[in-house]
């Protein structure tokens, strides 16, 4: 069974985004985290569906929120590289790979 693991910066940006949404509307941060989890689950189920953005890096968009999950497929796990806002600094994550 394939598992997923978040790089520390990806986990931090996910938590920051959730905190932002929670400040905007109570409960929305939890909904954001649930959507991240559903998207990661879809990635684990079918990792090759994501759009290739760079050699071995793929992106899967999140429904409802303007975010994408950037990841790479390793032999025994999916490595989450970024939980990126789609309208901000597009290549900021490149030094993580």
Summarised one tens digit per residue, pLDDT across range 17-67 is 999 999 999 999 999 999 999 999 999 999 999 999 988 999 999 999 999
- Sheet with 51-54, edge to edge strand ranges: 3-6, 77-85, 67-73, 57-61, 51-54
pLDDT at 2 > cutoff 90: no
Q: What is the pTM of this model?
A: 0.89
- All domains in the chain, ordered by first residue: 3-89 (3.30.2310.20)
The residue among 94, 28, 14 whose CA lies nearest residue 57 is 94
Q: Return the DSSP state at 20.
A: H
């Amino acid at each position: 069974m394939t598992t997923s693991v978040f790089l520390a910066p990806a986990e931090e940006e996910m938590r920051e985004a959730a905190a932002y949404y929670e400040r905007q509307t109570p409960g929305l941060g939890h909904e954001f985290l649930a959507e991240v989890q559903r998207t990661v689950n879809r990635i684990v189920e079918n990792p090759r569906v994501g759009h290739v953005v760079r050699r071995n890096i793929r992106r899967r968009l999140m429904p409802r929120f303007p975010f994408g999950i950037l990841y790479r497929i390793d032999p025994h796990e999916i490595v989450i590289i970024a939980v990126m806002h789609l309208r901000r600094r597009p290549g900021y994550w490149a030094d993580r790979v």
